[in-house]
Amino acid sequence: MRRNDLPASLGYLFTIDEARDAGVPRSRLRASDLTIPHRGLRLCDSPADEHDDWSEYERRREALVERARVYAKVMPDNQVFSHATAAAVWQLSLPNALLDPDRDLDVGVRAPARHPRRTGIIGHQLQSHLVTVVEHRGLRVTDPSSTWASMGSVLTSDYELIGLGDSIVRERIFRDDRDPIATLDQLIAIVGAGRWAGVRRLRSAVGRVRTRSASAGETRSRCVIVDAGLPEPSLNVVVRDGYGNLVAVVDLAYEDLKIAVEYEGDQHRTDPEQWAKDIARHEQLAAMGWIVIRVTRAQLYGAPHTVIARVRAALARRGR
């Protein structure tokens, strides 16, 4: 075989043993076009990205999952992906900092085995009675409930911990939504099952997890409003006109007062078609007597007091 040729059967990721069995000489495995992601592995060009419709966030999260797939080729049978890596495999809502390509993979073993020590790996010792291991997307991972509980020691923001719980128990609201991957009762049960790291934060957070929050922005909006001492709004409320036609599914609402709080994520701002639909929907709500409070990411994360003031003013206008 020519120097640059590799047997097609090897694919883009293979072990040294697989290469030798395929007749690849040792010198070829030291070539500069191959990288060594982990001891005993070789990596050539990754498969082409076929998901042009992915957001930048989804690309970062799936890049983490792809790194897990690479390590899975040499991962011992007693190891499992846990913590943030497991959360990424479950396609849960994670802060961008945990999707940094330089962050190591979270890998755990059941006690009393010692946690893994390997370059590129954050090792964890897992308590057997607290953790359930399953296979998902072809990878060994902790189940959704124990993945969430493990994140009590990783996430520094209570709002992020609540948002992660929301994304796990989220019921189907829109046509393309998946079914919830755990129930709120399961999250409550796992918190009570033992002494997790960060258990006090978990106990506080689980009481604030809701099943109808459709995004991390909606979760933070709700928490900011409630922590300011204002009434908790309902989530993803269906609004119909007098003829029963669907007008909107409002992110957060005081339905009896006709007050809507809409979180405008970046996709609303950057997609002209979505922006036009948003304007039309909000105009129709206003014509029906609704007060619509539109909240941007910059306001919510940078100046939440302005959001609180607008909600408080709207409640006052309605005599509350």
pLDDT digits (tens, 9 = 90+) for 282-299: 999 999 999 999 999 999
Q: Which of 84, 221, 228 is nearest to 142 (CA)?
A: 84
Arithmetic mean of pLDDT, 78-95 = 96
Kindly report, residue by residue over 9-33, the tens digit of the pLDDT.
777 777 877 878 787 888 787 777 7
d(CA 195, CA 216) in angstroms, rounded, equals 27
Decide if pLDDT at 1 tops 60. Answer: no
Query: Any idea which of 117-126, 135-144, 206-215, 271-280 has the lowest mean pLDDT?
Result: 271-280
Decide if pLDDT at 131 tops 90. Answer: yes
For residue 53, what pLDDT is reported?
A: 64
Phi–psi pair at 84, nearest 5 degrees: -65, -35
Q: Determine the 3-state secondary structure of 35 from DSSP.
A: strand
Helices (H), 151-207: 158-169, 184-191, 199-206
For residue 46, what pLDDT is reported?
A: 57
d(CA 165, CA 232) in angstroms, rounded, equals 18
d(CA 212, CA 303) in angstroms, rounded, equals 25
Spacing of C-alpha 107 from chain mean position: 18
Rg (CA), the chain: 24
d(CA 141, CA 106) in angstroms, rounded, equals 10
Domains along the chain? 8-43 (no CATH), 74-114+126-206 (no CATH), 216-317 (3.40.960.10)
Which tokens in the block code for residue 62?
A: 């799936």
Arithmetic mean of pLDDT, 191-212 = 95
Arithmetic mean of pLDDT, 141-153 = 97
Beta strands in the chain (DSSP E): 13-15, 41-43, 79-81, 105-110, 121-126, 133-136, 139-142, 234-240, 246-254, 259-264, 291-296
For residue 141, what pLDDT is reported?
A: 98
Kindly report, residue by residue over 238-274, the tens digit of the pLDDT.
999 999 999 999 999 999 999 999 998 755 455 667 7
Tell me the residue type at 44: C
Helix%, strand%, coil% for the chain, nearest 5? 40, 20, 40
> What Å distances lie between residue 25 and 34, 43, 210, CA to CA?
13, 16, 57
Query: Any idea which of 1-15, 100-114, 152-166, 190-204 has the lowest mean pLDDT?
Result: 1-15
Using an 8 Å Cβ cutoff, are 71 and 38 in contact? yes
Arithmetic mean of pLDDT, 124-141 = 95
Using an 8 Å Cβ cutoff, are 218 and 307 in contact? no
Using an 8 Å Cβ cutoff, are 105 and 179 in contact? no
pLDDT more than 90, % of the chain:
69
Using an 8 Å Cβ cutoff, are 143 and 134 in contact? yes
Kindly report, residue by residue over 158-171, the tens digit of the pLDDT.
999 999 999 999 99
The torsion region of residue 229 among left (phi > 0), alpha (psi -120 to 50) and beta comes to left
Q: How confident is the model at residue 47 (pLDDT cuts 50, 70, 90)?
A: low
